Amino acid sequence: MLGRSAIITRLDEKCIIQSHLKKIRVVHNNDINPYYFFYLLNSKIVQKQIDTKTFVQATLSTLGNRLQEIVLPIHSDVNEIKRITNEIKEIIEQKTLLREKTMSLINNSI
């Protein structure tokens, strides 16, 4: 599905990214942190922008360079950004821990 995003965790470091996927990396955390960026990419307003900029031809959907036209609704309140960042970070960390527990249980089963 076009417009979906994910954060790569330590459990995903050896994954293969296919040509139809786009890797976006936060290079300078001073501008925006990865967790808040993830939050913004999944927000309704950004998803709506992606939908309107998506070009569909037959069964293939593409966003192409129109990705650069997406406007991120960055909150003006730094404390709200920190709150959201901390919540998203906690969710991702908990999800990673649960995946590790599941993998351990599977790997240690009979």
Per-residue pLDDT tens digits for 35-44: 999 999 999 9
In a domain, 4, yes or no: no
Is residue 11 within 8 A of residue 99, CB to CB? The reply is yes
> Is 14 or 82 the better-scoring residue by pLDDT?
82
| 100 belongs to a structural domain | yes
Would 35 be classed as within a structural domain? yes
3 in a structural domain: no
**Confidence band, pLDDT 50/70/90 cuts, at residue 27:** confident
- Report if residue 5 sits inside a domain: no
Domain hosting 75: range is: 10-107
Which pLDDT score, from 0 to 100, does residue 44 have?
93
Residue 70 lies in a domain: yes
Over the chain, what is the mean pLDDT?
83
Residue 42 resides in a domain: yes
pLDDT digits (tens, 9 = 90+) for 53-96: 776 655 555 566 677 888 899 999 999 999 999 999 999 999 99
Q: Is residue 39 part of a domain?
A: yes
Q: How many domains does the chain have?
A: 1
Q: Of 31, 24, 34, which is closest to residue 85 (Cα–Cα)?
A: 34
